[in-house]
Homo-oligomer: A and B are copies of this chain.
Amino acid sequence: MNPNYVRIFDTTLRDGEQSPGATLTSAEKVEIARGLTRLGVDVIEAGFPAASPDDLEGVRRIAIEVGNALEGEGELHRPVPIICGLARASKQDIDAAWEAVREAARPRIHTFLATSPIHMQYKLRMDAEEVVEQVREMVAYAKSYCDDVEFSPEDAGRSDPEFLYLVLGEAIKAGATTLNIPDTVGYTTPEEFGGLITDIMANTPGIDNAIVSIHCHDDLGLATANTLAGIQAGARQAEVTVNGIGERAGNTSLEEVVMALLTRRIVYSLETGIDTTQISRISRMVSNYTGMPVQPNKAIVGANAFAHEAGIHQDGMLKHNQTYEIMRPETVGLYRSKLVLGKHSGRHALKVHLQEMGYELQQEELDSAFKRYKELADKKKVITDADLEALIEDQSYQSQEVFSLEGLQVACGTMGMPTATVKLLGPEGEQYTHASVGTGPVHATFKTIDAIIGVPNTLVEFNVHAVTEGIDALGEVTVRLQADNSSIPQRTSPQNGQVRSRSFGGYGADTDIIVASAKAFLAALNKLLIATGKLDTANKEAMVTLPPERSKV
């Protein structure tokens, strides 16, 4: 065991996905897990299996499909990541977690219990002895399933230190191999948090036999500094998320911790297993799938993070890089080549290029991607890798279609009667058409889709941005909606046990942003329909009585 190796524990799919509106489908989770494996993370916390049957199934798929697959060969070889499931300190939760991760080559169960007076008193309603006993029992119970057990004392930052050492020591005795110290509410300063880890390392019985981990939140903008302070104090696992997503102000950013350790390796003398050239891609993938945009001034992964300004040639910038740059954009995978394929290139050339970008498509997917590529090449002069990513992600996003967009016609403007006509194909291949007037073209389109599909919902977020520069750019749309009635699938929060409605995100890309909006809205509604299992809500009056001329693709 290299004492200078810091394990990267990615919880994008658990703590990240728990943030409002970041809900992902199982298919999206699997794709992100594959991306995280390419990135080289040591542990993927794939979900909280006790939250709902859907959540359990999502973790299980990752355990099977990603937790056993060797990524690439030769130089591209990567070890299989550990697949981890979160569980409250109860048999039921631990059973669910084990059920979800058991088929992974390297499974882990992560269980937790609060140790701060305020949480013990108001949330758990347990005294200190009861807490110790439950930790002991539940860690041992998890250990009976699985060698690799992680334990977190929730709200460690506000816990009595002596009690904390005691609980952690008992967890180690009961079999915990990783002890994770969370700053649950993002309250500590780097000195405090580093001091806490130093004290834990010094005072916890048996700590030499375990890995100490840290888990910080960014409520005061200090997550990265707190994480680095914890690592300097001896922690060798950092719990992070891509783009720093997560509840409230989010978790510690994977990319900031990794690049700080790399850029300042003279200070830290530590290493990680991360392939930094994958950072930009996984950042984009997580942003698109969760619908959580990254601000331009976000460190490492923001659009402006590297001193690139449109119109200034890269060479000019590189000349100054000693004076103003501390990282090279290539290091995080930026400035990939423009696609040299022309309108007349064949599908083999596209396939090779997509493979270089890391996409392994099935023949059928490749055919569809090629068709869409040709259509795009007809419309747009320069096609970049970013365009191609949007195109592929738009396609894989639409994979679980219930209703699909067959046609859309919109009229809008300042005359004040924006009108949309929508044609949808239903689950049985039947056609629906309907038209509505709205307050704008997006409203008219969504209202029409709602009128056809008939599932009450509230749109809670809507964003559009251009993929590349130029007025002919592809537009990417992300939406997020919530179902309006209580028959909707709910999930339990691991922290407070509250049951709450899920929200559903959708993504669409098109040169026409109204078409992209329709696709994104449909994608979100399809997720909602699949989650509820209700596929028979459609408005029969909108059904076209003629037999459909083409079947569903």
For A210-227 the 0/1 string (1 means CB < 8 A from B) is 000000001111111110
Query: How far does the Cβ of A541 sit from chain B's closest Cβ, in whole Å?
Result: 21
Enumerate 19 A-B pairs (CB-CB under 8 Å) in ascending A order. Answer: A118-B323, A219-B327, A220-B264, A221-B257, A221-B299, A222-B260, A292-B295, A295-B298, A311-B458, A312-B500, A407-B415, A410-B410, A412-B512, A439-B472, A440-B510, A440-B515, A441-B513, A459-B471, A514-B514
Could you say which of B297, B412, B503, B515 contacts A19, with CB atoms under 8 Å apart?
A: B297
Neighbouring B residues of A412 by C-beta, 8 Å: 409-410, 441, 512, 514-515
The verdict on A531 contacting chain B, using a C-beta distance below 8 Å, is: no
Selected interface stretch from A92-100, A182-190, A337-345, A389-397: A182-190
Neighbouring B residues of A20 by C-beta, 8 Å: 296, 304, 309-310
Given A297-B249, A305-B248, are A320 and B496 neighbors across the interface (CB < 8 Å)?
yes
Neighbouring B residues of A185 by C-beta, 8 Å: 324-326
Considering the complex, give the chain B residue whose CB is closest to the CB of A440. B512
A461 touches B470 (CB 8 A): no
Q: Of A155, A189, A458, which is in contact with the most chain B CB atoms at under 10 Å from its CB? A: A189
The verdict on A247 contacting chain B, using a C-beta distance below 8 Å, is: yes
Neighbouring B residues of A513 by C-beta, 8 Å: 440-442, 464, 513
The verdict on A475 contacting chain B, using a C-beta distance below 8 Å, is: yes
Given A219-B305, A299-B220, A304-B249, are A470 and B458 neighbors across the interface (CB < 8 Å)?
yes
Complex Cα distance, B464 from A134, in Å, reads 50
Neighbouring B residues of A410 by C-beta, 8 Å: 410-413, 441
B458 touches A462 (CB 8 A): no
Complex Cα distance, B309 from A461, in Å, reads 12
**Copies, count:** 2
The verdict on A357 contacting chain B, using a C-beta distance below 8 Å, is: no
Neighbouring B residues of A245 by C-beta, 8 Å: 297
Could you say which of B223, B409, B463, B472 contacts A438, with CB atoms under 8 Å apart?
A: B472
Neighbouring B residues of A322 by C-beta, 8 Å: 118, 122
Neighbouring B residues of A461 by C-beta, 8 Å: 303, 465-466, 469
New A-B contacts (16) at CB < 8 Å, excluding given A19-B304, A118-B323 = A20-B309, A123-B323, A186-B326, A189-B260, A219-B299, A221-B225, A247-B304, A248-B304, A310-B458, A379-B439, A380-B439, A408-B413, A413-B421, A442-B475, A443-B471, A459-B469
The verdict on A143 contacting chain B, using a C-beta distance below 8 Å, is: no
Query: How far does the Cβ of A112 sit from chain B's closest Cβ, in whole Å?
Result: 14
Complex Cα distance, B256 from A495, in Å, reads 25
Considering the complex, give the chain B residue whose CB is closest to the CB of A187. B326
For A234-271 the 0/1 string (1 means CB < 8 A from B) is 00000000011111111001001101100110010000
A189 touches B299 (CB 8 A): no
B408 touches A414 (CB 8 A): yes
Neighbouring B residues of A298 by C-beta, 8 Å: 249, 295
Considering the complex, give the chain B residue whose CB is closest to the CB of A260. B220
For A348-383 the 0/1 string (1 means CB < 8 A from B) is 000000000000000000000000000000011000
Query: How far does the Cβ of A56 sit from chain B's closest Cβ, in whole Å?
Result: 23
Q: Of A155, A294, A326, which is in contact with the most chain B CB atoms at under 10 Å from its CB? A: A326
